[in-house]
Structure formats: C-alpha cells, structure tokens
Homo-oligomer: A and B are copies of this chain.
Amino acid sequence: MSREAKFSCGRDYFYTSHLYDALSESAGQGFDFICVNMAGPRYVRGGVCDNTADKREEPMSRSDLTLSTNDWNQLIVGKISSWINLEHSSKKVRESHEKAFYEELSYATHLSIPAVLVELNSSDCENLSSSLVAYLQQTNQHVWVKVPLTYPLNKEYSFNIEEVGREDPWEWWTKFYALCGCNKKISVVLEIGTRCVEAMVIDRWTGEPVKAYSVSTESFSSNQKGFPVLNKSTQSVINSLFKLNCQGILTGTNHVNKLMGITTYIQYLQHLWSIRDNESPVREFARGYEDFLQCPLQPLQDNLESQTYEMFEKDPVKYVRYEEAVKQALLDIKERETYQGKDVVVMVVGAGRGPLVKGTISASKATGISVKIFAVEKNPNAIITLRNLNIKEWNSLVTIVSSDMRLWTPPELADIIVSELLGSFGDNELSPECLDGAQHLLKPDAISIPTSYTSFLAPVSSTKLYNALANCVDPSKPAEAPYETPYVVYLHNVYLPAPCKPLFTFTHPNLQQNSNERYTQLQFEFSQNSVIHGFVGYFSSNLYKDITISIHPTTYSIGMFSWFPMYFPIRQPLYVEYADRVLVNFWRRVGKNKVWYEWSVSSPRASGVHNSGGKCYSIGL
C-alpha cells in the first residue's frame, strides 16, 4: 500500500485534428497527458446538433486507430463539447443536445479514456446530473467536472459569507453532486484564476473529490528574469491542492516570454510541487492508507498477531513517554513515608510481547529503585514470547502470568499498574472495564499509568470517507451497518469545519467504582456553509502527572504513529449553513457482554440514533 505521489500536469488543447502530433509535442514539452474535444467543432450547427449516427456520412470524430488503447487509456482526457446545453429551454434543442452528449460519452467509453471533462457553469444542472448519472450506471467511465474556484473567476474578490448564495461555485457543485447521489465516478477539476482568496474558500474544497486544478497561462505574470510566475494567493491554493495529490491542467498559450516556450510554465508548477509542504513522519508511515476505512482492533476479544505487536512496538514516542512516567512514579513512591527500600511491585497488565516490561526494567535501572515485575497477559501466543524473553533477556526476574487481568488472583498487591489499553477514541478498546476489573490487584495508594484519558470530537466533511462506506457491507449485519459503525482511518481528503471538543474522560484508579457509561451533548459553530458526513474522534491521555500522549490535532505527540483517528459516519450527509449550530449527542453504553457507542444529531435537523442498542457495532467484553 505504499506509493509516492508524483507531479503530473496535462495540456488543454481546444481541438486538434492531428492528435498524434499534439501528443508528441506536449510529451516533448514535459506534459503527462492532454485534454482534447471528443467531437470535431464542425458538428455544431446554429446551436443545434442535427447529426444522428445513422445518417452522417462523415465520421463524428477521429478514428480509434489513431492511438493504441494503451495511449488512449493513459494520455487522453476527453472534453465534452462546450456548446452542449442540457438545460436549454427548448425541448427540441435539449433532446438534440442530449443525444450529442451521449454520443460523445459513449465514444469516450469506447476509447477507454480515463476521464471525460464536463463544465459546470451555474447551479442549473438538473438535466446534466440526470443524464450523466444515467450514463454512469452502465459503465465504469470516470467524469471530471470543471468548477471555477470563484465566480466570476478573475474579478477582485472579497469573500462575504452572507452575499455568496447561489453564485458561489462550491454551492453549484454541492447541489450538482447531491443530485448525482455522490456518485464515486465523478470528481472535480478546480479552475483557478488570479483572485486573492481567503484560506477558508479553498479549505472547504479539501473535503471534496478534487482530482485536478486547471490554471490558464493568462493567470501567470512575468518575473524579473522574464519567467512566468503566479501570485501568492494562487500559489497557496495550488499548494493546498497538492496535499490532495491533485494533477494540473494548463490552458491557454504562452504569452509571458515568446523566446522561452510553454515548458517554462510547467517548470514553474513543478517547482511549486518540489517546495510544497513537507511530509510528516506519520504521513510517511500512513502512505497508501489515506482515507482507508479499517475496523477498529478489539484486542480484548481477539488476540493480536505477531506482526501487529511488531508494528506498534516500533512507535518512537509512546514507549519513551511510558518509561518516563514509570520513572516519575517510582521516584514519587520512593519519597513516600511508607517506602522502606522494599521492591516496588509493578504489574504490567496486558503486557503483550513485553515493551512496557522492558520500559519498567529501564526505569528501575535509571532510578536505582528496585522493582518486582509481574507481566499479565491473556494472549497465549504472546505468553510464548514473554517466556522466551524472560529466559534469554530478563534473567527469569519477571513473573509471567498467563491470565486475563480481571480473573487473576495475585500473590501480592501492586504499587504501580502499567497498561496500554487505549484505542483511537481513548476508551474504545475497553481500558475502563479492564482496569476497573484489575483494581483487586492494587494497594490502596497504588498509581495507575495512565492516570486518565479523554476523547475528542469534531464534525467532518469528506465525500471520500462517506463514499467509502458503501464498500463496507457485511452480509451478517443489518443493511445500514456501514453507516452506523465507527472506523479507524488516516484522514486525508477531509475538511474539519469546526474545532474539536472534549467528550468523555476516565480516570484511574476508579476507587468509587463510577459507572463507565457516559452521555454528552456537544455544540459546534460553523464559520461557513458545509456538508458534513459524520464526526472524527481523537484522544489524549495523561500517563502520569504532566507526561501525556495525544492524537488531538493541536496537542499531537509528534512522530507517534500508533493511532489513527476514528470516523463516526452519519447516514445522510447534512447540509449546514454558516449561522447554524450543530448539536450532536454521544453515548457510551455498557451491557453485560459488550460496550458500544450511540450517536445522533439534534440540530439543525434531527437524525435517528445511530447504532442503537449496539445493533451494528459493539466491543466484546
């Protein structure tokens, strides 16, 4: 699942009758593909297409023999004729245009070209969406819909949320894509002008299926050396789209410097790509898993496999923090009046293959405080590793206990209990239930590492995540299950229209035996119109005192890769206006044999309760 994104840019030709030559020329200039009209321009007659395939003597377009299937399939984007207007008020014209539309689409599919390009010029798109979706039902053809970033494209622009309304192209697209039923075969080509736009204008598009940006040579100006350059705002827009691995399309002709050809434009875009925001270590680790929905692990119910342990043990941050926390706890115990130089009893519960045992041994060595370690683990396969390690590396000093921590009767009680039972949403791997069940192992003043953890929630806009749900069908579950189940996912093609808020907190030891059920209602304010597709979840944890680990976006433990965020979908995408408040309700429910979450939206429009009674998803106790 690992593949590095590459810079890619195509050239937009209006029409060429010498396709092979155009392709050779543009390849020589450094372009990766070209965009050409599907049909010849002579087929427009007075705005009415009166050609039918049956009567014409001349061919509608160039022959498929002009290129090999391989070339059609990799190098050509086909533009649907721009004179085609499916919203025309005349029924006769509209029907004639629809016929031409299908002819061009059908020929594109015949040629196996990877995408056809359709322009969206206003919010009037009822017939376009209906005709397009009807066609897509029969084929695997992909369609790129070209939408301007702003309207008009190039006039000086001040984003005023209250005046935008129907003339905001994002609203055109949102209506069009809703009419198309969020069809996966449809993507966006964003047309970029020279206007300066605020960050929020482009941010909103980062949750949409944007595949390419289109920029005209007219948008470039000449720098001191005579080379074409873009203004800061446009650079920043393109940089945002590079994060989505968007390809470029260059339209227009060379005008900046006649001596230096069109190649200088592509070189400039390539330069922007090469200096784009650097990859983070986690992004590197997650490559290939962007927006890929995964079922959350259930380490309590299922035994983890060797390769899962192996991967998590490589986390460069988590175990350093844990060792630091154990060290601090040992030093604090040493300061207690009750400490008389005896071995501090440390129980590692859910020891897995022993990384926390190793950390405890190191902490003991570093502080000079001697410890007695019990490693409790319920997975018999990990027990084999622990026993081998105990013989070969730990000098048989660790007591290996093959048991569920909740069921074990200890020979003595613990001063410190160390566990790593946290999931992406904090409590979702049942850390609260396990640690509460292990409280009989503790001395009254025992320290728990971690001491507490909190889950966080934010609304999310992402057609990519929402569309991926349709692939998550499980015949053994209710039909709605994909839409009422949380997933673990590395977020990529998403937009968070409002900041995270804290949801549930758990602290340990839980001496009052407080219930682990929870209910919280959260309110989110929106700064602009958005379509939300659910909520994303994070956690942070205090291991001990001020030593924390976190995957919350603003307190993230940089370099830590053990957890991706959670995604809680909603059944229907929810259109939210900028003045709306979104109210969401979250429950954590605990049954006899399982734990589950339920969620619902109560404002601006009420949704049904998702995963009611744990019917679609639960975590086995």
Contact = CB atoms under 8 A, between A and B. Distances in A.
Contact of A59 (B65, B112, B384): B384
B402 A305 contact: no
Contacts of A106: 303, 380-381
Given A53-B402, A58-B387, A59-B388, A381 B64 contact: yes
Interface stretch (A68-76, A149-157, A594-602): A68-76
Contact of A307 (B53, B69, B307, B389): B69
Contacts of A353: 64-65
A480 interface: no
Interface in A54-106: 54, 57-65, 68-69, 72-73, 103, 106
A103 B392 CA distance: 23
A362 interface: no
Contacts of A348: none
Contacts of A73: 307
A101 to B, nearest CB: 14
Interface string A88-132: 000000000000000100110111100000000000000000000
Interface string A288-300: 0000000000000
A385 interface: yes
Contacts of A389: 63, 65
A110 B305 contact: yes
Nearest to A70: B307
A131 B381 CA distance: 19
B69 A310 contact: yes
A62 B388 contact: yes
Contacts of A72: 306
Interface string A138-157: 00000000000000000000
Contact of A388 (B65, B68, B110): B65
B303 A54 contact: no
Nearest to A55: B402
A59 B387 contact: yes
Contacts of A189: none
B107 A310 contact: no
- Of A103, A106, A307, A309, chain B has the most CB atoms within 10 Å of the CB of A307
A403 interface: yes
B58 A306 contact: no
A309 B68 CA distance: 11
Nearest to A390: B59
A246 interface: no
A455 to B, nearest CB: 30
A471 to B, nearest CB: 13
Interface of A: 53-54, 57-65, 68-69, 72-73, 103, 106-107, 109-112, 303, 305-307, 309-310, 353, 380-385, 387-389, 391-392, 402-403
Q: Which are the 4 A-B pairs with shortest beta-carbon distances?
A: A63-B388, A110-B381, A53-B380, A59-B387
22 contacts: A53-B380, A53-B383, A54-B402, A60-B384, A61-B384, A62-B388, A63-B384, A63-B388, A64-B381, A64-B384, A64-B385, A65-B353, A69-B307, A69-B310, A73-B307, A103-B380, A106-B303, A106-B380, A107-B381, A107-B384, A110-B303, A110-B305
